[in-house]
């Protein structure tokens, strides 16, 4: 039974929930901050939390003690929306956008998602895994300890399974907690350009049952947007996934208010993601459905296409999560501190809301908040120390990595 004691933490941000699965409304600003705190970890789980002067109970002789004076501690970040398994890169599209082309124009000319599909189909599972391992390690080094990863750059049965097997192997072999999402409905593959409903049939009749049988994904997601999957096509796919015991997410209202958030609420999806164009009806429906709104500030910044109405969502009582959406097209960054900085400078979120959004609410979007997303007794010991004077400084001083020590499931990681 190994013990680890972190003592003299200048500022401990617990993001404590007192047992709630998610933080919404005013509670999203409550971080449970403690000064001069100590945390005892035993067998990979938080065992005791106290302040200077309190005596931790039952200390063993072989305990490891870390003096965290001058550092702050936060729960490991939960990045609940990424596309981090892919081959190739798209800096030429970035340059085209700099020259005035839009994301949609580039996609219509055969670039966009389909160019990454081309590269990913050609890559072996081994190649994909090697690339993804490097990315997951780099994310850990920046404080992200839990990561959701979507398929969706295969778009045929074999290539989607190759991606999901790769994600599964990463979940077994990497330090990070990895959650797999099947996104066979990310775009229509070129083979089905003129028979879109037949592709939906393929997803519903062959891909989803196979994914469910082999338990290759915990979630199913759909890019519900005009030009991609219609509301009816998205509903068919998500209902089939639900029938097969797979939980739901939706890429919703990214390019226009196209019914995605309404559908997410109707199906009580775990999360509706993007929401740059959600309207007030959509906001009310998400609130009633208990669906997490996962906002992706890096995409709005990178594509320069407007920001989701975070303030309205939070004020309406919808729990807001932040994620990177890391992918080669619309956000080539997985820095959660950067996402928080953009959320505060462009979306009207407070630093406190941004931190809840990147920890406990991200965990809730993955249905993991019983075990992850806050520093509370009994939860998995994912805790990161930063060399900064206080938590606001972490978001304020952007574009640099302030991480000093990463502890995942109670293990100190060395890089």
Residues that bind ligand NIG (CB under 6 A): 83, 112-113, 116, 223, 251, 254, 299, 325, 327-330
Q: Which is nearer to Fe ion, 42 or 325 (CB)?
A: 325
Q: Taking Cα atoms as reference points, which of 327, 354, 410, 28 lies closest to residue 148?
A: 327
Q: Which is nearer to ligand NIG, 225 or 352 (CB)?
A: 225
Q: Taking Cα atoms as reference points, which of 274, 271, 291, 192 lies closest to residue 233?
A: 192
From the number of C-beta atoms within 10 Å of its C-beta (0-12, 13-18, 19+), residue 26 rates as exposed
Q: How far apart are CA 252 and CA 180, in angstroms?
A: 19
Q: Which is nearer to ligand NIG, 7 or 118 (CB)?
A: 118
Q: Return the DSSP state at 54.
A: P
Q: Which is nearer to ligand NIG, 326 or 391 (CB)?
A: 326
Minimum Å gap between C-beta 228 and Fe ion is 11
276 binds, options ligand NIG, Fe ion, none, Cβ within 5 to 8 A by partner type: none
Q: How far apart are CA 183 and CA 186, in angstroms?
A: 6
328 binds, options ligand NIG, Fe ion, none, Cβ within 5 to 8 A by partner type: ligand NIG
Contact (CB, 8 A) for 264 and 221? no
The CB density around residue 39, as the number of other CB atoms within 10 Å, is 26
9 binds, options ligand NIG, Fe ion, none, Cβ within 5 to 8 A by partner type: none
Q: Which is nearer to Fe ion, 307 or 386 (CB)?
A: 307
Minimum Å gap between C-beta 181 and Fe ion is 10
330 binds, options Fe ion, ligand NIG, none, Cβ within 5 to 8 A by partner type: ligand NIG
160 binds, options Fe ion, ligand NIG, none, Cβ within 5 to 8 A by partner type: none
Q: Which is nearer to ligand NIG, 20 or 127 (CB)?
A: 127
Minimum Å gap between C-beta 156 and ligand NIG is 17
Contact (CB, 8 A) for 75 and 374? yes
Contact (CB, 8 A) for 265 and 291? yes
Minimum Å gap between C-beta 329 and Fe ion is 9
Footprint (CB under 5 A) of Fe ion, residues 288-347: 325
Minimum Å gap between C-beta 267 and Fe ion is 18
Minimum Å gap between C-beta 48 and ligand NIG is 40
Alpha-carbon torsion angle 195, 200, 206, 207, nearest 10: 120
Q: What three-state secondary structure class fits 276?
A: coil
The CB density around residue 57, as the number of other CB atoms within 10 Å, is 9
Alpha-carbon torsion angle 254, 241, 129, 407, nearest 10: 80
Q: Which is nearer to ligand NIG, 14 or 327 (CB)?
A: 327
Minimum Å gap between C-beta 81 and Fe ion is 6
Contact (CB, 8 A) for 381 and 410? yes
Contact footprint for Fe ion (CB under 5 A): 325
């Amino acid at each position: 039974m190994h013990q680890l004691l972190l003592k003299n933490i200048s500022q401990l941000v617990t993001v404590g929930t007192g047992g709630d699965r998610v933080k919404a409304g005013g509670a999203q600003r409550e971080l449970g901050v403690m000064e001069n705190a100590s945390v005892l970890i035993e067998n990979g789980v938080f065992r005791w939390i106290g302040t200077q002067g309190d005596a931790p109970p039952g200390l063993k002789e072989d305990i490891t003690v870390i003096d965290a004076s001058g550092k702050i501690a936060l729960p490991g970040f939960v990045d609940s929306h990424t596309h981090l398994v892919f081959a190739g890169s798209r800096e030429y599209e970035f340059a085209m956008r700099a020259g005035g082309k839009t994301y949609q124009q580039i996609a219509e000319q055969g670039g966009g998602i389909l160019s990454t599909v081309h590269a990913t189909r050609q890559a072996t599972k081994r190649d994909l895994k090697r690339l993804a391992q490097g990315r997951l390690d780099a994310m850990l080094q920046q404080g992200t300890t839990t990561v959701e990863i979507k398929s969706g750059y295969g778009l045929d049965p074999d290539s989607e399974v190759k991606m999901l097997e790769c994600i599964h192997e990463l979940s077994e072999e990497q330090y990070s907690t990895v959650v797999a999402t099947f996104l066979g409905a990310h775009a229509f593959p070129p083979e089905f350009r003129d028979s879109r409903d037949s592709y939906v049939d393929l997803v519903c009749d062959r891909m989803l049952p196979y994914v469910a049988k082999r338990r290759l994904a915990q979630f199913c997601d759909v890019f519900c947007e005009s030009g991609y999957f219609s509301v009816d096509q998205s509903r068919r796919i998500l209902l089939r996934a639900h029938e097969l015991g797979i939980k739901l997410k939706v890429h919703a209202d990214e390019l226009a208010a196209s019914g995605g958030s309404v559908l997410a609420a109707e199906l009580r999806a775990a999360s509706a993601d993007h929401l740059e164009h959600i309207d007030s009806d959509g906001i009310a429906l998400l609130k009633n459905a208990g669906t997490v709104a996962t906002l992706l500030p890096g995409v709005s910044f990178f594509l320069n296409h407007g920001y989701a109405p975070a303030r309205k969502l939070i004020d309406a009582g919808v729990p807001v999560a932040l994620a990177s959406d890391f992918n080669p097209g619309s956000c080539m960054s997985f820095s959660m501190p950067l996402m928080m900085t953009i959320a505060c400078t462009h979306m009207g979120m407070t630093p406190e809301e941004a931190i809840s959004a990147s920890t406990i609410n991200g965990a809730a979007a993955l249905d993991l908040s019983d075990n992850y997303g806050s520093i509370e007794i009994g939860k998995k010991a994912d805790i990161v120390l930063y060399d900064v004077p206080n938590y606001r400084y972490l978001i304020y001083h952007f574009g640099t990595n302030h991480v000093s020590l990463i502890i995942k499931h109670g293990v100190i990681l060395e890089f």
